[in-house]
Each structure stands twice: as C-alpha cells, then as structure tokens.
Structure 1
Amino acid sequence: MTQPHPPPTTATAASTKARLLAESAAHAAAKRYDLALASLKAALALDKADPETLAALRTLVEQATRHASTDAAAQTPRALLLAATGGVEGGVREREGEGAANMAAADASRKLAILSAGDPAVSTKLLADGAVERLLPALLGPADPGDRAALGRILGNILASHPPAAISVLPFFTAESLNTSLKAVSDSEPLTRQFLDLISTVVHRSAQDPAASKPPLLTTNAFAVLNILVSRLAPDHPTTVRAAAFGCLIRAVASEPLALALVTNGAATTALIALVADPDDAVRNLVPSAFVRIFEQVQKTPANRAAVQAALGAHIAECVAASSSSSPQQEGKTRARGLLALAAVFQADGACAAALFDAKMLELVLRGVERDEHDDASAARETRLAFLELLSAACGEKQSRTLIAARCGPFLARIAKNSKGDTQQATAAAVALTKLQAADAVFVKTSSGMKIADPIAMADVFIATLLAPNTTSTTQSSSSTSDTLRAAATEGLAYLSLRPRVKAHITAHPTFLKRVLAAAAAHKPITFGLATVLANCTDFRRKLTQEERNVRDLRRMAKADDGSATTSSSTKNSTADDDDEDDENDPLDDDDAVAARGVVIVQCGAVPVLLAKGKEPATARVRAAVARTLCSLACTKSLHSTLIQQGAVRGLLELTRSRQQQQDEDDTTTTRIAAHALAKIAITADPNIAFRADLATELVRPLLDLLRDDNNQKLSTTNNTNMAPSSLVRFEALLALTNLASFPPARARIAHAHGVPLFEAYLFADHPLLRRAATEAICNMVFEDAVFEAYASGGKASKTLGGGAAAFRMLLALADAEDFPTRRAASGAVAVLTVAPGVCARVAGEGFDNAVVGGGRAAGQGGDDEEGGGDDGDKKGGDTTRSAERVPRGIEIVLGLLDSPVAAAGSASAATAAREAGELQHRGVECVKNMCHAGKEIAAVMVAAGARQAVERFAGNAGARGQLPVPQVVREGAVDALAAIRQWGL
C-alpha cells in the first residue's frame, strides 16, 4: 500500500514558496495573468496567511486590471481602425516593415470586419471617426495593408449600413487608383472579385443619391469604374473574374447618364457586343441582362431611349454589313456577332429591336448570309446559326413575325427539312417555325404548294435532338453548344405541346419521356422547357361558361360571314384558324384523354423530377409550371396514392410557402394552384393512413387560405360542375378540410387557425354545394371540445371558434333542407350539440321569427305537409309562426327528422330510401333523447309537440309507416327517449 507523502518541512516550504512566487512574477511580466494566478494559488496552499504571497496577489490583481483597461481601449472601433490602417491622426500610414506591424494590422482588420458586420452602430462610429478617409488610401494603395480582404469587408459593411456614404467614397476611385489596386490583387481571383463588387456597389449607390447628379462626379469617377469593369471582360482574364465583372457592370449601370455613357462609348459597346459569341455560358448569357438594365434606365426619357436605340442600331448594322476588306471568314464572324447582338436586344426590349429589324435590315442580313454561303462554308454555317437564333428571338414581336413569315418562311422550312445532318441548324429553324405557327402567323405558300410547318414533323425534330447521345463532353465549348441545342429543342417542344396532336405524340413515346426526365438533372437549361411541356400535356380543357360559349358562337358566325365575303386569299395559307378551331374541339383534349396522358407521365417518373425542380432556387416560372402539372395530375383520383407515395404532398406544401415577404402576382398564383392540388388530394386520402400527424396539420393552412382568397378565379383546372371556378376551388377546399377534420390533430389545428368562422360564413353561400360542404365541415368540427363548448356557451359568438346565434340558427334550418347530404350533416351536428343542455334550450326556443337565408324546408319552402290543403296541411300550414299555440320551429325540425324520408335526387330505389330514412331517423331520435334528458321543462315542451307519439313508432320493429324495418340504433334511441319522458313523470 502506498504511503502518503509527509508534510513538507519549513525549509522545503520556504523554497517552494520562493519558486512559486518567482514563477508568478515571470508569468505576470509576460502578461500571462492566468498562469501567474495559478502559481500564487499554489503558494497560498502552503500558507494562506503568508503576507508576502498576499502582497504578490494584490500586485497581480492591480497589474491585470490595468492591462484589461488598456486592452479594452485598444479594442474600440477607433483604435482598431487606426491599427488596421497603420496610421496616426490624419490617416497617414506609417509602417516600418512587413513583419509584426502587418500582422497587427491584419488582426485589427479582421476584428473590425466582424464588429462592423454584427452591429450597425459600429459602422456609424467608424464613419464619425473618418473611416472613409483612413480605409481608402490603405485599400487602394500598392502596398500590402495586412489584410486587404478584411478592409474591403469593413468598407462594404459601412456601405450596407449607411448607403449615402457611397457618395463620399466615389471621389477616391480614379482611373489611376483603380488600376493600381487591381494590379496589387491581380494574383488573387477572390480579391479581384471582391474589389470589383465593392467599386460597383459604390457606383450603384452613388448613382441613386441626388448629389451624384451633379458633375464632375459621374462624368469622371463613375465612368472610370465602368471602364475598369469593361476592361475585365476581355478573354485574357479568368472566366470567374469576367463573369463577376459583367455582373458588377450590370449593377453599376444605375442611372440614365451611366447607361448612355456605356452605349455611346464605342469601345465599351464593341466589347459588349463581342460577348454574344463568347464560348463561356456564364459570360454570354449575361448579355441580354445587360441590355435589359440599359433600357430600364432610359425608359422614362424618350430622347435617351432613342439615343440608346440609335447607338446600338449603328453598331449592329456595322457588324451585319461587315467590311469587305477583311477575310470572308472574319466577315462571317463579325456578321454573326451583329445578328446575335440583335437577338439579345430582342430578349431585352422587343419594341426597340423590332424597330431596328425592319425590311431594310432584313434585306441586308439576307444579302450577307447569301454572300457567306458563296465565299466560305464555315462562315456561312456560323452566320446561318446566328440568323436562325435572331429569327427565333424576333418571333416574339408581332411586327417582326409578319415580316419573317412573309420573307423567311420557305427558308426556315428548307433548313428544317434539309439540313444535311446538321441537327443544330434544323432545331433552330424548327423553333422559329414553331413560334410563328403558335402565334398564328400567315405564311406564303411555297412554289410546290406544300405546307410549311407540320407540328408532328417539327416535334420529331425536337425529340430526335433531345434523344441524341451527348457526344460533346470533350470540351467546354462543345458542351455549351449541346446545352444550347437541348434548350432550343425543349423551347420548341414547349410551344408545340399546346396542340392536342403533339401532346398525344409526346406521351406516345415513353422512352423519350424517361430519357429526357433523366437528363433534366444534368442539363439545367432544359428545366423550364421540360416543365412547360409536362404542364401543357396534362392541362385539362377549361369548361366555358354560358356567356363564354355565346361569345364563341358569335365569333364563329362573324368569321363565317367574313369568309363568305372575301374569297380572294389564294396566296395566303389560312390553315392556322382552321387548326385552332380543330384544336378547340379535338377529342385528344377531352378529360379522359388528358387523364390518360397524366398516367403515362407519372409512370415515366415525372413526379420526383418535378418536385426536385420545384425546390429552391427554382425560378418563379419553373415553380408555376410544376404547380400546374401537379394540380392537373391531382384531378385524376387513381393517381392520388402514387402522388402521396412519391412525396407530392410535401412538395406542394413547399410551393405554397412564400419565398419572399412580398410575392408578385405570378408567385401568388403558384401558391394558390399548389394549394388547390393539395385540396384535390386531401379529399380522397384517409388522413389517418395517408398522412403523418404533422403533415396533416400542415395541410390546414393553405386550404384555409383558399377559403379566404378572393382572387382564385384562374385556379380551376377541370370543372365538371356548373360552378364558377372560384366556387369550385372553395368547394374542394371545404371537402378537403371536412376530410381532415375527421383526424383529431388536424381538427384541433383547424379550430386553432380560426377555420370554424370561415365554415359558418359559407353556410350562407348562394350555391347549394358550398352550403353542403360547409355544413359537413362543421358536422366534423363539433367533435372538437373547444368548438363544442363555443356552441354550448349560449349563443355568444367567438371570433376564433364560432358558435354564434346566427350560425346555429342556419345550421338548425339546414337540418330541414331539401338536399339530403346537407340535411344529414346539419342534423348530425345538431344531434351532437344537443348533448349540451344549453343547446337543447336554444332548439326548444327557436321560432325563426327572422328570415333565414339559404332556402330549403326551413325557409318556408316546406315539405309535403306544408303544401296542399289536406287536414294535416290545415293544422300545420298558414302563417302561424308567431302564434302562442304554434310548435317551436326548432322542435318541429327535430321531429321532422322522424317523418317520411327525404330521398336524394335520383334516389328512387327502396334500399336507398330506407338507408337515407334510417340515417335521418337516427339523428332525429338522438336529438329527441338528448332534449328529453336536458330537463323537465324542455321534455314537457317536447311531449306537448308530439315527441312521445313520434318515438313510440320506433320502439317496436315497425318503421315510421309500418313498412320499413327500424334500424337497431334508432330503436335503442327511441327506447331511451321514452325512458327519459317517463323519468320526468310525463
């Protein structure tokens, strides 16, 4: 066993104390105060009352306190700013080397970047301490400031918190300082991109400041920034830097003077137009965005807009004409750049581009294309592809479509049909033809009289392009060409898929669908086109209202009259109108055909692909197409289980959530369509099986939003009723919520989300189906304890849980409605609620002195007993509702449930009549039983109204007329009601 150490002797303790005190002093001298304190604690363990050790402890505390004060002062924003910029008062940088001083500056820069990012007050303090004057010389100078990236972040944080500060930064941006700084960071792409972003942000915010409108600020410094950004677009810079510079250039063009300066600068415009043929997608695809930005800035001033249009037109015309002194190949490249630039202008501002693309320009282009085909084959192909892209873009403008259809139809048809294996040219030509045909352009006939554009043939061209193996993986340029080709093919197919024949043709090729869906993940450019094709193929034909049908017939008559009056159209191809007429009535767009296409699309695996594409960061147009497709698929009940299994419910819930605090109209429509799809699925799915508790409760929010929404007229995908689209959406939302209300967690969520007052509002709807659905929803909701208590509280309406007197009166009135499902649901709700004595008193005292909206038997439209002049009619008919001898109307409705059954429309069979009678009699007996148990006074009123005789008929085996067997539950309820009557001695 180990023996404990003996206590130290006096000599040993003294030496140990001396050693510990010496260690503490050494640590304190090195400012390692934690280690110094640990040594003193060990010394105090030897003798807690030793005066020398206690004195050393007091000295250590004083030193640590002074150091903490000094260190805190050194960590203030001003101190960190001075340390980061290596300066003294006045902002003069004084550095004695690149060693410890630079390390301290870098450390201070990083700390200040973190502080200024987390607290706007720090930025305010920095501005007051002259941060701009201190940071800019360090940031723009040629020497290494320690941490240039951190200095850039500090300045960026200041501008983010105080945008007006940009106007004080801009004067530092001269051509010389910008070039010097970029040269200093040229070896680092991240630093270069950060610097470009910073200077573009300064120009952007300065341009929006009123003080920036005064020269010479914008005419010198801002233009210097634009020139620097344009210079970084050159091909000798890395792709990431070029793309970043292009994005920064687009942001920097934030005013009319800047937009005019960019376009009227010959070198800048030449550089911009050259990018339309750039091999890098990241750079080339930004050209239309740049033109959009330019036109946005000048749209309010016609003179400036005309100046921009003239400047772009001059450059484009110069490119298209090309210099005859250069080589044929170079001429073709220059001409192609001009054509692609005009195509980019069409994407940015169609009206401006259409003004440039007039008959004179088209003639110039055609001559150039013809010359290239004669001089150089490779140049001819490049020019022809650019021309086809221009024609495709120009088809978006009516003025240009007319010109193209009249002059270029045969040319496009020839390229599409006889491209000698050149898929790229054939696809581009077919896309242009498709757009023309979709816009009902009038073609001239070819010399042989053949039809220029056959939809099925063009669809085959696009399908072949998308099915072609990707053999372009060797180089970036060829891969870019492949993606562009696929995007063009999907765009053309999207236009063609508006035609029923093409829809059927697409879904008749499941191999194509499977392969293109599989390729969608790897080829993002085809995402929107593919989503549009699927949406078009699954869209149901909208049912026209009677008014719309009348307008359509009038138009047909007017067209027929015009056709008989003008018969001299031998040079025109008038098949477009005939094709539209055929498409409108094509059986391939009947509901059964559309549903069959939807089944094929689901079987090909489209749902998981659509859900993946609908997630962030999908564009609004892609989300809209995904929502349309899923809503159309949800119209087919047989697909509901598959949609649930493949995660469509969760995906649709994501689509119903806003990505921004303020949605635009398109995004709001997408939200509504997705909610409508959820309603269709939730109508048929058993919430206890199909959904987890959390998923079922999440469905409540978007469905209730449909009931609150006043702008859902556009939502109806298919309408097999005579309801207006908005009413159909609300009806299906009510049905879905009724189904969910059978699931306790979802029912509680509906009550908590104020759903019951919404349901009560629809009890007063004009359309009987809306009243029925609302009644069924309330029938399920009364099983929720909070809702039951709200109705049992005595008629005081709750803003969140309902139960007001008006709603209850309407519910009681609907228990006597002509519509059997409505009457069944209303009487079921009343039967549940009469468990509460307060509700029984409300029923017994209800006389309907005021008019009740909603029609039906309770509104005076009556049953057989209230019509005619028989003996029973004499007893119950007439205006006796205010008579003292009159049976209360509430009790009359309850007892009426025990009378002859009210069969649903078309229910003529005895079995159906017996079933319906049994359901109503069961509810009526429960009401009578509950009311007789509620108290002697209410039971006496019931007996006086004939309740004993009414229920005695069901206590035996005979039915109400002695013909139908009495259901067991009805017999048991009748026996219980009679027992309650006897209990009160009545």
Structure 2
Amino acid sequence: MAAVTGSAGAESLGRRDQTLLLFARLMEGGKEDDETVADLGKLTKLLNEDADLAKKGEPSVASVIDNDCLDTILCYLDMRQPDIVRAHATLCTSAYLKAAGEDGSKKITDFFHSRIRRGTYDDYIVAFCVAASIFPIVPDLTSELFLTEGFLSSLGPLMRRKWKSRKVETACLEMLNTACMQPQCREAVHKYCVDWLEEIVDQDPDDAVKAMHSVDSDAHTQEGSVALRWHSQHVQNLAAVVLAKLRPAAGDQDPEPRIQSATTSIEDLSKRFTKMLVEDPEHVQSSVEGLAYATIQSKVKEELAQDKDSLKRLVKALESAPPKSPLTYGALSIFVNLTRYQPVETEEQKKLKQLKAYANAAGKLQADPLNDDAQVAERCKRVFEAGITPVLVTHCKNGSVASLSLIISIIYSLSMTPALRGQLAQQGAVRLLIGAWAALPEKEDKARRTAAQALARILISTNPALVFRQTPQSAAIRPLTSIITPDPNAETRDLLPTFEALLALTNLASTDNDTRRSIVRTGWDDIEEQLFSSNTRVSTAVVELICNLVQSPEEAMTLFGDGSPRAETRIKVVLALADAEDEKTRSAAGGALASLTGFDAVVRGILAQPRGAGIVLDLCRDDANEGLRHRGAVIVHNMISHEGDVYKLAREKLLDAGGVEALTECAKKSRTGEVVQAVVHALEALLGEN
C-alpha cells in the first residue's frame, strides 16, 4: 500500500482500517442480530460518506473490499436471515454499489454466476435472494444477469425436480416476482417459465398425498432439500402471484403464442388470492400482491367488489399493515383498481381511437360495460361501505409519497358520488385531503391537483360549519385556489377542476368575512382571470363567488369601490355579465351588483357605460325569472339612494333609459310580495325628490 501523508491521508487510512475491521467482525459467527445490524449500519455509513469524499479526490475505501468481503455482505441477503438483517444488508449493498461503481457491478456479476455454476441448493438460494434484493437498486445490472442466455431456461428443470427444496423454490419465485417489474424481464419469464409456473399452481392435491407415501429407492437429495415430491402451499401461492403479473403482460398480442391456451385464467388466480386472504392470514402479502395485479381486469374487480367479506378482509389487512410497507402499497393498489373511473375523452380522442381500431382491423371498439361510470360508482359505494375511509385517514398520517398518491386517488373516486360526500367529510376525508396536499412536494403536481379537486367536490356538497369544527376553514383555501387555473401540463384543457374549485370557494365565502378576506388575499388574481372565460359555466361560477365575496364591505371596497382603473374594469366586466345570454350568469352578476351598488364609485362606474342603466333595467323587464326582476329592482333602489351628484346622475340616466316604464312592467309581472315591495320602493325613489 502506498505511503499516506498529511491529515487527509491519515483520515483515509483510518477509514480503510475501520472498513476492514467491520468486515472482520461481520465474518465472525455466532453474533447476535442486533450486533450484526449495528455493524452493517456503520459500514453503510462509511460507504455513503466515501462516495462524497471520493468526488473530492480522496482514495475510496471500496478498493479494500475484495470478493470475500462482498460475499460476506451479500450472504446477509439470504432469505434465511432475519428480516431486519436483510433490510440493513440491502442498504449496505446499495451504498457499496454507489461507492465501487463499475468494479462493484463486476464483482456482483461474478458472484451471481459463480453461485449459479456451483449448483447446490444453498448456492441457488443465495444467488436468487441476492438478485431479488438488488433488482430495485440496480435494475439494469440485475436485468442483465437475469437475461443471461440459458439462465431462465435452466429454472424449469430445477423447479421440476422430483425432490423439492422449498427454500430454493421460494427464493426462485421471489426473484421472478421482483423481476416482473421490468417489462423485458417479464416477457422473458412469460416465454421460458409460464408452463412450469402453471404446473405448480395446478398441482393436484391427490397426487401430492400419493407422493407422500411413495418410496423411490433411487432418490437422491442434496443437502438442504426436503424429502417431498410436491410443491408447498406457499410456493403455489407465490407462483400464482407471478402468473398474475404475466397475464396482463401477455395480453392478446403475444408475439410467440403457445399452441395451448393458458390453463390458469386470471379469474382462477383471483379466486385463489381471495381464498388465501380469507383462509390463510399468514400469507396475506402474497394474496394482496396477486390481487393488486388481478384487479386490473374488469371482471375480477367486479367479482371482488361483490364479495363483502373479502372487501372487509382487505380493509382489515390495510388497517394492520405497517406504514410505507409493500402490504400497504399492494392493498391501496387494489382499492385504486376497484374505484378507478375511465378517463374522460374528448371527441377528437374518441375519433382517433376509432380510427386506430379500424387500422388494426378490430372494427368498432366496444366499451367494457363493467368499466362504465355506473358500474364504477357501484363499486365505489361498496368499497366505502366496507369502511375504507377511516383506515385511509390513519395511513395518510405516515404515508410515503407513493401511498399518499394512491390514497388521494381512492378518495377522489369516492367523491364522484354526491351521496357519499357528506359521509366522507364526517369520516375525516377533508382533513386527509388538506394534509396530503400540504405534505406532498410541489413536484407531485398531479397528485396535489387531484387532492384539491376531491376536496372541492366534498366542499360543494357539505355545510362548512359542520365540516370545519376541528380544522380551520382557511386551510382549505390554498388547495382550492391552486386548481382555479387549468393544468398547464395537461394534454387537453380541462375546466372541470376550475369550475368545482369556484363552487367550493363560493360555499366557503358564504360563511364569514375572515374567510372572504382569506380567499381574496390568496387567490384573487386567478379568480379574476376566470371572469373572462369563454366557458359559460365557469363565468357563472366565478360571478357567484364574487357575489359572496362582496358581502364583505371591506373586500367590496378594495376590489370594486376604490375608484382605480382596475376597479372600473371589474365593474365593466360584471355589468357585461349581467347582460349575458345565460340566465344563471345574469342572475349571479345581478346579485353581485345588488351588493356593490351601495358604493358611490360602483354606481358611477355603471353609469359611465353607455348601456349601464339599460342593462340594469333589462333585469327588471325579464319575462321569466322573478329572481332577476328582484335583483334589478334592488339595484335601481340602491343607485338612487345615494346623495348629491351620484343621486342626480343615477336618476337622470335611469329616467332617460325608461326606468318608470321598466319598473311598472316589473311590478305587473311579479307575483311575489317581496319583489313587488322592492319595485315599489324603487319607483318611489325614482319619482321622488332627494
């Protein structure tokens, strides 16, 4: 070893000595698990620090880790090790690969091939466990090992041996299960392994019993084998999970279709998983993982949704699952599949899809009736009745980003049904969505927008006074205002989130001045932009929101009554909307003007427009809507209730525009005492002297 000088060199030598010392301790036998975990943790820390120090030009400690040292770490990935040891060994392996770079990848490749060549049961177990553990860490490297010529084809004879090793079979299937995450590996597993996987799943129990009592004098076993000739129930379950992952991958376009069709359908597999869920709690992880893939199929999710007992078992499994665990993610994935609605397609998208179908000689596309909105709504109802919401609320508190996204997706689908919204709010969905929106990083824009839209839907249909007993109303405003502007990253412009957010804010703005002030401070610029929307429903919704916001004198004065050019423009826009073709838009704008005309500056702004007085009187003349006539009469009365120049100008303009005739006509058309009274007061003010 080259001489090392200086303080930095001494530190480097110290780190190398620490590394070698830790390996010496890890190679010792008979240690307690907590000691092993502690040493693995220290080694992981050294290797993580090493990666940063190496960038500064310091020697890497990875250079002292030879094949024997690496063998020590990788053997702690063995399934026969305690879970906590395996978990820390996985972190340590990840840190090593980061520090060692290409040399580390080469050493792992050599380790894997060496173990496979030895061919003992023990070596197979370790090799398969290592491949399964490092697949998520270095998928490209592991895929290369996995797709080595002859490797997958050698697994069939191994799994078909007369004398079984359950641990070898389990390790092999766990490796295949993990590898199926990668499309190329999944296709290879389907090509080379699907036949013997089906043999395992379809094993006849009667044959297994006969095998127990048969004697084979020529039988030879290896160390670690079990003197049995059938596959264990757990191995069958694992094989079923792998098959479930292969079914969607194979599809109808298998490039190399087999002569015989699959003997085990996805429906058969789902029934096995459901049975496991109810009868075999010990293997709940396998059943949940299998169902997470099986429920991609519409028929499977429909059958599962009809099974109340299984749904409740799934909810219980999720309730007891540790936060951020594979079991949590798998159970959430099932509920996402059960409740997911089909995406809304534009007419252009539908036409393109139709053309593609004809180009593929498939003819007219037939929508799956099990995926239509009515069927999905019924599944959502059944999932809700199984008690999913409180469990989601609990998991949301400690959930990962991935789990939070799935939870949001489920609540979003449940909120599509108006009848469920009140109950969702009662069970904590509003707090859940506000908390999830705040917890997700800003880069998770899609999930945050989904959370905000689900929140909007619930708040449209519920009484804020009942919802916000423990959570302040102001907490909902930022999520809601965040989706007023359409998603800039979406392929098509979707105004539904905008519309629903405006309705929810309108509901909140009906409560108190503090909430109105918070809405204006947080989202006014985006709200005002929607005044110019070409979509009638959006423009109506935004004016209805403004109508509620200006019930606060402070906000009304700030936005419309300060005499500024911007305030004058806003008055002009609202006045124009009071003359819109859509009746609801006219009604909302009339309501806003009925509140705003209490301010001199607003009346001056209305009268400054050539048709200002005429638009107000047109509300009074409306033939069909009593509410519009009422609003018009109130606006007229407000306009001529001011003093001085404003009164004179208003009276003059209204009389010139036919105010007396309009109000007289309004009185004759109206049947409600409240409206007639408002008209009489307006006429008296118009005809009287100030």
TM-score by length of 1: 0.61
Change over 3 Å in CA distance of 1:498–1:230 after alignment to 2 = farther
Instruction: Note closer, same or farther for the CA distance 1:791–1:399 as it changes in structure 2 (3 Å cut).
Output: closer
Matched, 1:696 2:456: no
- The one-letter code matched in structure 1 to 2:615 is I
Residue 116 (structure 2) pairs with residue 320 (structure 1): yes
1:665 matched to 2:443 = yes
- Which deviations, in whole Å up to 9, do the C-alpha atoms of 1:457-494 show, x marking residues without a partner? 11122222222344xxxxxxxxxxx4xx4323222211
Q: Return the offset for 1:711.
A: 4.7
Alpha-carbon offset, residue 596 of structure 1? 0.7
- 1:559 corresponding residue in structure 2: 360
Match status 1:346 vs 2:135: yes
Contact 1:672 1:712 in 2 (8 A): no
2:572 maps to: 809
Output the CA distance in 2 between the equivalents of 1:348 and 1:727: 40
- Note if contact 1:750-1:756 (Cα within 8 Å) is conserved in structure 2: no
Distance in 2, Cα, partners of 1:292 & 1:648: 38
Q: Does 1:467 pair with 2:278? A: yes
1:692: how far off? 2.6
**Alpha-carbon distance in 2 for matches of 1:548, 1:496:** 28
Contact 2:274 2:287 in 1 (8 A): yes
Given candidates 58, 75, 97, the residue that maps to 1:273 is: 75
Structure 1 residues 710 and 232: alpha-carbon distance in aligned structure 2, compared to 1, 3 A threshold:
farther
RMSD between superposed Cα atoms in Å: 2.9
Equivalent-residue separation in structure 1 for 2:395 and 2:408 (angstroms): 11
**Runs of at least 5 residues in structure 2 that lack an aligned partner in the other structure:** 206-230
**Is residue 940 of structure 1 aligned with residue 659 of structure 2?**
no
Aligned to 2:222: none
Q: State the partner residue of 2:679.
A: 974
Q: CA, structure 1 residues 456+725, in 2 after alignment: closer, same or farther (shift >3 Å)?
A: farther
Q: Distance in 2 between matches of 1:491 and 1:261?
A: 40
Structure 1 229/756 Cα, relative in aligned 2: closer, same or farther at 3 Å? same
Separation of aligned partners in 1, 2:150 and 2:14: 40
**Local SS of the residue matching 1:795:** coil
SS of the aligned residue for 1:276 comes to: coil
Aligned equivalent of 2:182: 397
Distance 1:827 1:271 in 2: 75
Within 5 A, what are the aligned runs for 1:815-834? 815-834=578-597
Alignment of 1:463-612 (within 5 A): 463-470=274-281, 482=282, 485-524=283-322, 525=325, 526-560=327-361, 585-612=367-394
Q: Against the structure 1 CA distance between its residues 752 and 828, is the aligned structure 2 distance closer, same or farther, given a 3 Å change threshold?
A: closer
Aligned with 1:633 (options 394, 414, 426): 414
| Displacement of 1:344 | 1.9
Structure of greater relative contact order (alpha carbons < 8 Å, 6+ residues apart): 2
Q: Cα deviation per residue 1:137-171 (whole Å; 9 max; x = unaligned)? A: xxxxxxxxxxxxxxxxxxxxxxxxxxxxxxxxxx9
Matched to 2:31, the amino acid is H
Question: What is the distance in 1 between the residues matched to 2:613 and 2:38?
Answer: 78
Say which of 621, 630, 640 aligns to 2:402.
Answer: 621
Q: Distance in 1 between matches of 2:479 and 2:316?
A: 31
TM-score w.r.t. the length of structure 2 is 0.86
d(CA) in 2 for partners of 1:919, 1:262? 85
Deviations 1:537-561 (CA, angstroms, capped at 9, x unpaired): 1111001123322332232233228
Distance 1:217 1:694, change over 3 A: closer
Check conservation: 1:467, 1:515, Cα contact below 8 A.
yes
Deviation (angstroms), 1:732 = 0.7
Aligned residue pairs total: 643
Equivalent of 2:40 in 228, 246, 261: 246
Higher mean C-alpha displacement, 512-521 vs 530-539: 512-521
Distance 2:278 2:25 in 1: 39
CA displacement at 1:892 relative to structure 2: 1.4
CA distance in 1, matches of 2:522, 2:603: 25
Distance 1:297 1:777, change over 3 A: farther
C-alpha change, 1:968 and 1:534, in structure 2 (3 Å) is same
Checking the alignment, whether the CA contact within 8 Å between 1:288 and 1:344 is kept in structure 2 is yes
2:486–2:493 Cα contact (<8 Å) kept = no
Contact 2:425 2:467 (8 Å CA) reproduced: yes
What is the alpha-carbon distance in structure 2 between the residues aligned to residue 924 and residue 658 of structure 1?
47
Shift in Å at residue 382 of structure 1? 1.5
Q: Is the 8 A contact 1:412 1:429 kept in 2?
A: yes
Offset, 1:713: 3.5
Cα distance in 2 between the residues matched to 1:560 and 1:289: 51
Q: Does the 8 Å CA contact 1:445/1:451 hold for their aligned counterparts?
A: no
- The whole-number CA distance in structure 1 between the counterparts of 2:168 and 2:488 is 48
Does structure 2 conserve the Cα–Cα contact (< 8 Å) formed by 1:656 and 1:702? Answer: yes
**TM-superposed deviation, 1:400:** 2.0
- Is the contact between residue 76 and residue 89 of structure 2 (CA under 8 Å) also seen in structure 1? no
The structure with the largest alpha-carbon Rg is 1
Which residue of structure 2 aligns with residue 759 of structure 1?
527
Helix, strand or coil for the counterpart of 1:707? coil
Structure 2 counterpart of 1:227, which letter? Answer: L
The aligned residue for residue 649 of structure 1 is: 430
Structure 1 segments unaligned to the other structure (5+ residues) = 1-170, 173-210, 299-303, 324-330, 471-481, 564-577, 715-723, 798-802, 847-887, 902-912, 960-964
Instruction: Tell me the CA shift for residue 424 of structure 1.
Output: 1.4
Task: From 599, 611, 629, give the equivalent of 1:921.
Answer: 629
Could you tell me whether the CA contact under 8 Å between 1:696 and 1:746 is conserved in 2?
A: no
1:456 and 2:161 correspond = no
2:236 aligns with 426
- Read off the aligned partner of 1:604 and give its amino acid letter: A
The aligned counterpart of 1:769 is 537
Paired letter, 1:497: T
2:459 paired residue number: 682
Supply the distance in 1 between the matched residues of 2:142 and 2:263 (Cα, whole angstroms).
26
Paired residue for 2:638? 930
Aligned: 1:898 with 2:620:
yes
SS of the residue 2:30 aligns to: coil
Is the Cα contact below 8 Å between 1:936 and 1:984 reproduced in 2?
no
Q: How does 1:50-199 map to 2 (within 5 A)?
A: none
Whichever residue aligns with residue 790 of structure 1, its letter is T
How far is the alpha carbon of 1:444 from its aligned partner? Answer: 6.0
Separation in structure 2 between the aligned mates of residue 435 and residue 313 of structure 1, nearest angstrom: 26
Q: Matched residues in 1 for 2:514 and 2:296: separation?
A: 40
The separation in 2 between residues aligned to 1:248 and 1:697, in whole angstroms, is 46
Cα offset, 1:825, TM superposition: 0.2
The answer to whether the 8 Å contact 2:155/2:193 transfers is no
Counterpart amino acid of residue 272 in structure 1: L
Tell me the SS of whatever aligns to 2:439: coil
In structure 2, give the amino acid aligned to 1:655: A
